Amino acid sequence: MDCSVALRRSSLGDARALDSTVRLDRPNDLPAAAAALTLQQSMALATVVATDETASADGDLKVRYVFEPTAPADDRFVTLLVSVDAARPEVPSLTIAIPAANWHEREMRDLFGIVPVGHPDPRPLVVHDGWPAGTFPLRKAFDGSRRVPVHPAQEFPHLVVEGEGVFEIPVGPIHAGIIEPGHFRFSSVGESVLHLDARLFYTHRGLEKRMEGLSPLDAFYVAERICGVCSVAHGLGYCEALEQIAGAAVPPRARLIRSIALELERLYNHVGDVGNVCAGAAFHYGTATGSRLKERLQQANERLAGNRFLRELVIPGGVRLDLSTDVLTPLEVTLREVLSEFDELMGRIEANPSVVDRLDETGVLSHQAALDLAVTGVAARASGIDRDARRDHPHAAFTLANPPRLQVATAAEGDAMARVSVRALEARESVRLIREFIRRLEPGSLRGNLPEPVPGGRIGIAAIESPRGEAVHWLRTDRDGRVERYHLRSPSYHNWPAVALAAETAIIPDFPLVNKSFELCYSCTDR
């Protein structure tokens, strides 16, 4: 298997001309093909999507490994398609060569029963204790409306560090704060973290299963609600994937309004997250200011779209509401005031040695580790990876004929301070972009035509830069134009393993700070 095989393109349902799919004759060709893409073309794993096509003519399970270039502004997806025998569902594992494939392969084993042969971690990821063995919820034969009996279970085998003076500290899944559930098992000596085993998927709701068979317009509401604070990004990602399939053109005004919504979402998240980092360092002024500014922005969202999370502003084909001057003028006032207060907050953080001392060199994520785990978003940029889906996979207003120029902020240190600084720069850039988008708003229609039903048997892939990084949406319609399979690889999905890695450079009482400097979603990850 050489590079030329990987370049032999064929059309296997890709809705965009830029994307290509390579069908591998045998599953065993996969490691060589993946190595060709990652090593020779320096591509990164974007997502892995398994599908159950036992009912189709092929009668098999399929796994698609989607890769993307790491070079800036190279908007392509290359998919390696592997057919898996339903009677003996096995594929060679890529995890040793491509660590980013780790969770994807474990998820595939849990939800489809496709075994990644040679995977170093035999433990389940998505399904939890008591889930009956041999029940694979994303197989088409599994009835999602049926209750599954809970079987007696053993305690989950956490990775245990042995030795004199090693302590295990279990934290969660129920936490004292109002946050989402996750279990963290620390092994420590004194205050130093030796290992962190994070167990998530407590909020796995089977949303991807739920969307199957729905009309694409109904499934949109599920996609948008996968997570609260990424509503715009996830709604938009689903819409763009659907619009690729339908071949729908979104009018320029709608694209600008979509981008305004996306940047408003980024802004309230980044401002609130800087405040949250202050909570991790017990800097009360920062915590209070961050939440106050976030609240102002969310109230502005409500005035704009009738919803604090800007839900249903973006809809398939365009946008639901127009942004008229009488809502944009107050928005500009809010942005100006919030920006000046945010600058003051950042000034106080940067000028306060007690805060800077907590953030500096805390929770370091090395550049190489970030590359290996295909980390994305703020965490990646703070570790020196110049990637931003707004530039690299243009969407919304960035697909206009004359796209706005985006300043991608990066830092080299990879510590909590770098992540805070990158966030602050991005928040300011978001304000600048919103103002530019508002200036460029021209009268025009708000919705493009979406054919009903949408074309069947096609695949749309959209990558959206959400507040937490690049989210990859993968959508395929069935013969009748309904959702056959939808998969979201959220940014948090690739970033969680990086948190565990960064925590190992910190001491136990600094973990909340490390965690908050990444500020990841649980529900996006769990789905």
The contact set with another protein (CB under 8 A) reads: 167-171, 175-177, 191, 278-285, 287-289, 292, 352, 354-355, 357-358, 507-512
Three-state SS at 159: coil
Closer to another protein by CB, 192 or 307: give it. Answer: 192
Beta-bridge partners for 397: none
Q: Which of 81, 2, 74 is nearest to 44 (CA)?
A: 74
- Cα distances (Å, whole numbers) of residue 144 to 58, 113, 139, 264, 343: 24, 16, 10, 36, 49
Beta-bridge partners for 69: 43
Closer to another protein by CB, 171 or 328: give it. Answer: 171
CA neighbours within 13 Å on the CB side: how many for 130?
Answer: 6
Closer to another protein by CB, 184 or 398: give it. Answer: 184
Minimum distance between the CB of residue 285 and another protein, rounded to whole angstroms? 6
Closer to another protein by CB, 244 or 276: give it. Answer: 276
Q: Quote the CA–CA distance of 167 and 153 in Å, as a whole number.
A: 25
Minimum distance between the CB of residue 354 and another protein, rounded to whole angstroms? 4
Minimum distance between the CB of residue 511 and another protein, rounded to whole angstroms? 5
Which residues, at least 6 apart from 310, have a Cβ–Cβ distance to it below 8 Å? 231, 232, 261, 264, 265, 301, 304
Closer to another protein by CB, 156 or 167: give it. Answer: 167
Closer to another protein by CB, 17 or 176: give it. Answer: 176
Minimum distance between the CB of residue 427 and another protein, rounded to whole angstroms? 20
**Contact in structure between 258 and 397 (CB atoms under 8 Å):** yes
**Contact in structure between 187 and 208 (CB atoms under 8 Å):** no
Minimum distance between the CB of residue 94 and another protein, rounded to whole angstroms? 34
Strand 318-319 relative to strand 469-477, pairing = unpaired
Minimum distance between the CB of residue 361 and another protein, rounded to whole angstroms? 10
Please state whether 208 falls in left (phi above 0), alpha (psi between -120 and 50) or beta.
alpha
Beta-bridge partners for 47: 66
Closer to another protein by CB, 443 or 509: give it. Answer: 509
Closer to another protein by CB, 142 or 285: give it. Answer: 285
Minimum distance between the CB of residue 174 and another protein, rounded to whole angstroms? 11
Q: Quote the CA–CA distance of 345 and 7 in Å, as a whole number.
A: 50
- Cα distances (Å, whole numbers) of residue 69 to 25, 36, 44, 191, 390: 23, 12, 6, 40, 14
SS (H, E, C) 487-508: EEECHHHHHHHHHHHHHCCCEH
Minimum distance between the CB of residue 455 and another protein, rounded to whole angstroms? 50
Minimum distance between the CB of residue 518 and another protein, rounded to whole angstroms? 15
Instruction: Output phi, psi for 61, to 5 deg.
Output: -100, 150
Closer to another protein by CB, 152 or 509: give it. Answer: 509
Describe the crossing of helices 102-112 and 491-503 by its angle, rounded to 10 degrees. 120
Q: Quote the CA–CA distance of 431 and 426 in Å, as a whole number.
A: 9
Minimum distance between the CB of residue 420 and another protein, rounded to whole angstroms? 12
Closer to another protein by CB, 348 or 447: give it. Answer: 348
Q: Quote the CA–CA distance of 30 and 120 in Å, as a whole number.
A: 17
Q: Quote the CA–CA distance of 400 and 421 in Å, as a whole number.
A: 29
* DSSP letters spanning 385-454: ----HHHHS--GGGGSSSPPP------SS-SHHHHHHHHHHHHHHHHHHHHHHHHH--S--SB----SSP
Minimum distance between the CB of residue 356 and another protein, rounded to whole angstroms? 9
Closer to another protein by CB, 397 or 420: give it. Answer: 420
